[in-house]
């Protein structure tokens, strides 16, 4: 699921998405968004989780300002199509 979201975000015009190898190196590491932002030289970090319940899936996504650690946006998607997340982030491209 992470790959699909990464690829969908990479298609958003004006959004710069760090490569898979770099961004996935932090997966499960417990490193905070501010430190990830410094190491990847990015302003924002997208964090998320996926929870399964039988055939159903719920995705929670959070956009974090890496400079100060504050949430810019957060949304939970019960049974979402993955591209909906990229549509929601369009307003944060600058």
Which is higher by pLDDT, 45 or 94?
45
Name the token pair of 18.
């760090």
Q: Please tell me the pTM assigned to this model.
A: 0.71
Query: What digits encode the pLDDT tens for the residues 50-75?
Result: 888 877 778 888 999 999 999 999 99
Burial, 9: exposed, middle or buried (Cβ in 10 Å; 0-12, 13-18, 19+)?
A: middle
Q: Residue 79: CB partners within 8 Å, gap ≥ 6?
A: 56, 57, 58
Q: Which H or E run contains 75?
A: strand 71-78
Which is higher by pLDDT, 49 or 56?
49
Grouping H, G, I as helix, E, B as strand and the rest as coil, residue 16 is: coil
Q: Residue 17: CB partners within 8 Å, gap ≥ 6?
A: 6, 9, 10, 23
Which is higher by pLDDT, 9 or 42?
42
| Residue 13: per-residue pLDDT | 86
Grouping H, G, I as helix, E, B as strand and the rest as coil, residue 10 is: helix
Query: What digits encode the pLDDT tens for the residues 9-41?
Result: 888 888 888 888 998 899 889 899 999 999 999
Cβ atoms 89, 62 nearer than 8 A? no
| Stretch 78-91: mean pLDDT | 61
């Amino acid at each position: 699921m992470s790959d699909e979201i990464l690829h969908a975000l990479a298609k958003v015009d004006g959004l710069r998405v760090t490569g898979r190898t770099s961004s996935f190196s932090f997966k499960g590491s417990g490193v905070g968004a501010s430190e990830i932002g410094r190491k990847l030289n990015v302003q924002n970090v997208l964090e998320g989780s996926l929870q399964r319940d039988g055939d159903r899936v719920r995705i929670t996504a959070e956009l974090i300002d890496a400079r100060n650690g504050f949430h810019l946006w957060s949304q939970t998607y019960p049974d979402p199509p993955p591209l909906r997340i990229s549509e929601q982030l369009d307003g944060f491209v600058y």
